[in-house]
Amino acid sequence: MRWRRVVSQLGRSVAVWAVSTVTMLVLAGILPDFQLQSADGDSATRIAVTAALGAGAFGVLSAVVWPLLVRLLLLVPALVLGLLVFFLNGSLLLVALRINPSGQSEAAPETAVIVAAVMSAVASATGGALAVRDDDAYRHRLSRLATRRRRSHPPCATAPGTVFLQLDGVGHDVLTAAVAKGLMPTVAAWLGTSHRLTPWRTDWSSQTGASQLGILHGSNFDIPAFRWYEKDSREVMVCNRPTSAAELQRRAVERTADGGLLAVDGASRGNLFSGGAEEQALVLSIATRRRGRKNRSRAGYFAYFADPANAVRTALSFFAEVGREVGQSLTARLHRQRPRVGRGGLYPLVRAFATVVERDVVVAAVIGDLLGGRSAVYADLVAYDEVAHHSGPRSRDAEKVLQRLDRALALIGKAAEHAPRPYRIVVLSDHGQSPGETFRTRYGLTLGDLVRAGCGLHVPRRAERTHSGTEARAAVRAALRRPVEEGGEKHRPTRHSEPVVLASGNLGLVSFPDVPHRMTKEELDARHPALLTTLANHPGIGFLLVRSEEHGGVVLGAHGAEIPLDRLDTRPGPLAAFGPGAADAVRRTHSFPHTADIMVNSWYDPEDGEVLAFEEQIGSHGGLGGAQGRPFLLSPFAVSAPVADGEELVGAESVHRVLRRWLLEADGPQVPLPEEQEKAA
């Protein structure tokens, strides 16, 4: 009954107030710069009353003033807002002490920050513990995380909604291994009882930009890598750069003539692209726009930070994660673990943002969408991908992240039980990760160094002294018919002929900016006669893709292997080690307008699944080879099977069509497939 709920809520409020009062008394006794009595001393009763009034004033200010402060700071990025939490919370405590009728309490500013943080955390824990036994209270607690209530498209009481949760970088094999080890009990409970697990195969560019654009917008055409050089605009496109993400989304929408997977009553949370969603939070493709009614990316995390307890908890977890990363990095160095990459600089902060702030905000936003009855939600949790890059895909560090992600899935699943409509929860990944040391660690030079050496350009002295650098210089001299003399005058092409070398995991791209078109093998050989031979014969490189005047396109490998693209099915050559589908993926990328002059895929060992990243990552993705190209799709039995038995799901665009089909099956107000639009016309 209504009066019982009111009494229950009142009782919880009194209990939280009492615990907060005791907490303030304890802190006053521990901290020398925090006082609840006058210098002459007060009675125990007066001190208790002072603490009670102070705790009550702080609670009221937190409930009333804090949301207003957060609303004013919506233009501040989530990371900065998270770091301001302690200062803002401490300021509210100082105000609460100042307006205390007793007039005896005071605290130093730095002490106020500590007291406020502890009191917020204790109040949150107490309120949560008391609410666990009350379903209505639990639902109310979750409702406070909602971004805003929908003003249109009221939910249908019978049509199920769909939540797509992307576990960034978690490969199919990593997921099954984590379930077998008991690291992900929520996923284990779903498997076999309510959900089916389906692997799928990525395109050649096995990275979030290509996969997520294809999944959300139905097209990842002309996305050759995570970063690439476009000769027509003379710009480097980077998938996680806001301006690039906005342009890529615009191109996809123009190509498909469709708003995206989430165009009707959808929400996009923590993604690179919006998917056409009306509600967005932490979406990169709209980060550069001015905030308005149609651009509410930062408003999406208002509801989470509007609760000071949430803000303090996230901030504390953020700094704990920074400390955890520093400790794990130091342990790896002391134990001389191999492979290993540098984890200093800003990386501990980047990791903490991905594993704590982004996770908390995205989960809160998704829960708000569920309780608001939204029809379709797509959210990306990037924590595992960030940690696995630097610690390894199957490292203990990465496994700890998987455990925390599983708890996030459990929380979302619990919230779905309290939603005003039934929900189907789909979990998927955009790619996996392949282990292996870096190209530079193994050979002492970068791909850029090797390309420059193959062109006869100056390279750093450390690279010159490597075996690869020496062989490249010898190949250049032999191709130019020059004597092999150390210390002789180096061949120096003009400044405009210097290549742009970019890396996307174990995929490398070489472009020559002064040539307006994509160069052919014949042009490359005439200009740099040793370059292609140097690259193709290097033991750290699996194969090259170049355009050919004679064959249209060819794959080059070691020992003079040169196979036209239309013959790869019968003569896979260097692609044989990369498994089925490699030829189709290469041919598709060859058709892109912005494919680089030379596409370079690293060596791959099919026995242990290792690749050599051209970036400083020991868990990498972006090219062909190993687990990076084998993500997963965990779908409920309530939807149709992704593919028929014996068939394989290939490419992000195919995943988009499957997800769109499931939205149609829900019989909600969803956008029809483009093919159905054409039939209807």
Length of the chain in terms of residues written: 681
Least confident interval from 430-444, 467-481, 564-578: 467-481
Respond yes or no on whether the N-terminal peptide bond of residue 339 is cis (omega within 30° of 0): yes
**Which pLDDT score is estimated for 17?**
60
> Residues 527-531: what's their mean pLDDT?
93
| Identity at 602, one-letter amino acid code | S
> Residues 311-325: what's their mean pLDDT?
81
> Residues 222-243: what's their mean pLDDT?
95
Q: Which residues contact 349 (CB under 8 A, 6 or more apart)?
A: 79, 322
All structural domains of the chain: 2-143 (no CATH), 168-298+368-434+628-655 (3.40.720.10), 439-617 (no CATH)
Question: Residue 357 in 3-state DSSP?
Answer: helix
Can you give the three-state secondary structure of 90-126, one letter per residue?
A: HHHHHHHHHCCCCCCCEECHHHHHHHHHHHHHHHHHH
- Answer whether residue 567 shows pLDDT above 50: yes
Strands 161-167 and 423-428: parallel
Least confident interval from 208-212, 476-480, 600-604, 621-625: 476-480
* Residue 120: band (very low, low, confident or very high) from pLDDT cuts 50, 70, 90: low
Per residue in 151-203, pLDDT (tens digit) is 444 544 468 999 999 999 999 999 999 999 999 999 999 998 999 999 999 99
For the chain, give the mean pLDDT.
Answer: 80
User: What CA–CA distances, in Å, run from 522 to 400, 478, 519, 530, 531?
Assistant: 51, 18, 8, 12, 12
- Answer whether residue 630 shows pLDDT above 60: yes
Backbone phi, then psi, for 431, in 5-degree steps? -175, 175
Per residue in 383-405, pLDDT (tens digit) is 999 999 999 999 999 999 999 99
Write b or e for each residue in 374-402: b if 16 or more Cβ atoms lie within 10 A of its Cβ, otherwise e: bbbbbbbbbbbbbbbbbbbbbbebbbbbb
**Which pLDDT score is estimated for 457?**
87
Least confident interval from 331-345, 404-418, 648-662: 331-345
**Percent of the chain at pLDDT exceeding 90:** 52
Of 634, 627, 652, which Cα lies nearest the Cα of 173?
A: 627
Helices (H), 335-438: 347-352, 358-372, 383-391, 396-417
Between 658 and 24, the more confident residue is: 658
> Residues 554-566: what's their mean pLDDT?
95
- Calpha distance 229→502 (Å, rounded): 8
54 alpha carbon, distance to own chain's centre: 42
Least confident interval from 68-72, 225-229, 255-259, 650-654: 68-72
Helices (H), 433-530: 439-443, 447-454, 461-464, 467-479, 521-527
DSSP string across 265-327: TEEEES-SS-TT-SEEES-GGGTTSPPBTTB-TTGGGHHHHTSHHHHHHHHHHHHHHHHHHHH
Helices (H), 132-192: 135-143, 172-180, 185-190
- Give the other-Cβ count within 10 Å of 317's Cβ: 19
Rounded to two decimals, what is the model's pTM? Answer: 0.79
Between 674 and 230, the more confident residue is: 230
Of 371, 375, 377, which Cα lies nearest the Cα of 303?
A: 371
- Answer whether residue 616 shows pLDDT above 90: yes
Strands 161-167 and 266-269: unpaired
> Residues 102-127: what's their mean pLDDT?
58
* Residue 482: band (very low, low, confident or very high) from pLDDT cuts 50, 70, 90: very low
- Answer whether residue 679 shows pLDDT above 50: no
Look at the block and give the residue holding tokens 């009492």: 18
- Answer whether residue 326 shows pLDDT above 50: yes
Of 323, 281, 277, which Cα lies nearest the Cα of 301?
A: 281
Of 170, 188, 177, which Cα lies nearest the Cα of 387?
A: 170
